[in-house]
Amino acid sequence: MASISTLGIGSGLDLSSILDSLQAAQKATLTPISKQQSSYTAKLSAYGTLKSALVSFQTANTALNKADLFTATSTASSSTAFSATTTGNAVAGKYTINVTQLAQSQTLTTKNTQADSKTAIATGDSVITIQQGGGKDPVTVNVSAANSSLGGIRDAINNSKSGVSASIINVGNGQYRLSVTSDDTGSDNAMKLSVSGDSALQSFMGYNGTRTDAGNGMEESVTAQNAELTVNNIKIINSSNTISDALEDITLNLKDVTTGNQTLTITKDTSKAESAVKAWVDAYNSLQDTFSSLTKYTAVDSGTATQDTSNGALLGDSTLRTIQSQLKGLLTNTQSTSSFKTLAQIGVTSDPSTGKLTLDNDKLETALSKDAAGVKDMIVGDGKTSGITTTISKNLTSWLSSTGIIQAATDGVSKTLNNLTAQYNKASDRIDSEMARYKAQFTQLDVMMSSLNSTSSYLTQQFDTSSSKS
């Protein structure tokens, strides 16, 4: 019986070539399905590209959709002794600042020294109680006798997260002292320390709040004090060097005392809004580039039956057209209560041929300098239902949601791809089955032809022998 690898030897026919031709003809019927699969796969990828581009634009739109951009201010100090930060509602103006004292934290240091940081001080277990002012609850720190060395006490206090920190100071000549510093500045945060359970440890580090305690214990090496300054000749006392409640929407950051009166200047700052508008325009144009790329069309040459393969995967796609059309319609705010209704009024115009925006920086700067609140009303609106960026934000959220039009389109393409895959597999299995049947039939034909040829040769030989005998 002839094998497939020797198909056609018995019959003398080119059965292998015939079988290959049959298989090629059958496989060709899969080409339309393959082309559809490629088309829908490209469309699925294109929806991913569209979604990514919309997310990028959404980031820029969110950044512009902030009311405080349009009331931003900048600060300038005539001295390095202080600086200031502002919120968007700070009023422009000048302030006279004179810092006479910085707030500082209290530090207590043991009067007596220890020869090392590892030898235990207490003979029994003890509890250190730290009381800070300002209405804070006292904090207790447990210290075992075995762990009552300078290092042990330091670690126990630091691990207690009690609002104070401890450190060991090498004062020279092999002598060490323990130092405890409050985390918070201000006189209200001054400390008292007491020890129960061991008199030796109480004698070493007790402090009852008097700078000149008799005996041993701790002494105040740095005094707790408040910051003192004048603003426009009005005296201000604060427990912190960061003062946020003296000037409305302005936070002062004190770094040093000043030499007499210094000046803090608050000015309107349109640069943040300008930068946000520019970034928004750039992001919008980038989105338009993506639209153009996904809908690219190349005209078919006369006599050419098929479209150019470089055409965009979403050419003629209703989902993209809907988004592009709706987005274009959101570039105005006719409901604005200010005189600004369109972006063109602040220097942002649209090119009808490309859909892209162009920005006139000078016109934008002039509009912001003249009426930043009016520009804000057009762009941001009330931040809920009105304003260009507000309404765009709502639409972007809808388009990009799990129930939005992009996801719906993606799900539709995925479903179609699954159906095409099922069709392809079914047709491919049918072809494989038919080709297996053809191979079996060709093999039988080869065997039969081989047998007939052998019989023919035998009979011919017999006839030839009979004839020669006659």
In a domain, 139, yes or no: yes
Distance between CA atoms of 444 and 433, rounded to whole angstroms? 17
> Do 146 and 59 have their domain in common?
no
Q: What is the DSSP letter of 224?
A: -
Q: State which residues form the domain around 83.
A: 73-102+227-268
The number of folded domains in the chain is 3
Task: Report the b/e string of 437-468 with b at 16+ CB within 10 A.
Answer: ebbeebbebbeebbeeeeeeeeeeeeeeeeee
What string of pLDDT tens digits covers the 470 residues of the chain? 344 445 655 555 666 777 777 777 777 676 777 777 777 788 888 889 999 999 999 999 999 999 889 988 999 999 999 999 998 788 889 999 999 999 999 999 999 999 999 999 999 999 999 998 767 789 999 999 999 999 999 999 999 988 899 999 999 999 999 999 999 999 999 999 999 999 999 999 999 887 544 557 999 999 999 999 999 999 999 999 999 999 999 999 999 999 999 999 999 999 999 999 999 999 999 999 999 999 987 765 555 445 455 688 888 889 999 999 999 999 988 888 899 999 999 999 999 889 999 999 999 999 999 999 999 999 999 999 899 999 999 999 999 999 999 999 888 888 877 776 777 777 777 777 777 776 777 677 667 766 776 776 767 776 777 776 65
Residue 292 shares a structural domain with residue 391: yes
Spatial CA neighbour of 189 closest among 201, 180, 198, 177: 180
Q: Is 57 helix (H, G, I), strand (E, B) or coil?
A: helix
How many Å is the Cα radius of gyration of the chain? 44
Same structural domain, 210 and 252: no
Partners of 235 in the β-ladder: 230
Which residues face 169 on adjacent strands? 177
Rounded Cα distance between 289 and 310, Å, is 16
Q: Which of 158, 98, 100 is nearest to 128 (CA)?
A: 158
Query: Is residue 469 domain-resident?
Result: no
Within-domain flag for 468: no
2 domain-assigned:
yes
Q: What is the CATH number of the domain that holds 121?
A: 2.60.40
**CB–CB of 177/204 below 8 Å?**
no
CB 229 within 8 A of CB 175: no
Grouping H, G, I as helix, E, B as strand and the rest as coil, residue 271 is helix
Examine residue 349 and state whether it is found in any structural domain, yes or no.
Answer: yes
| Residue 123 CA: distances (Å) to CA of 92, 179, 199 | 64, 21, 9
- Tell whether 133 and 216 lie within a shared domain: yes
> The tokens of 406 are what?
């992009």
Q: What pLDDT, on a 0 to 100 scale, did the predictor assign at position 194?
A: 93
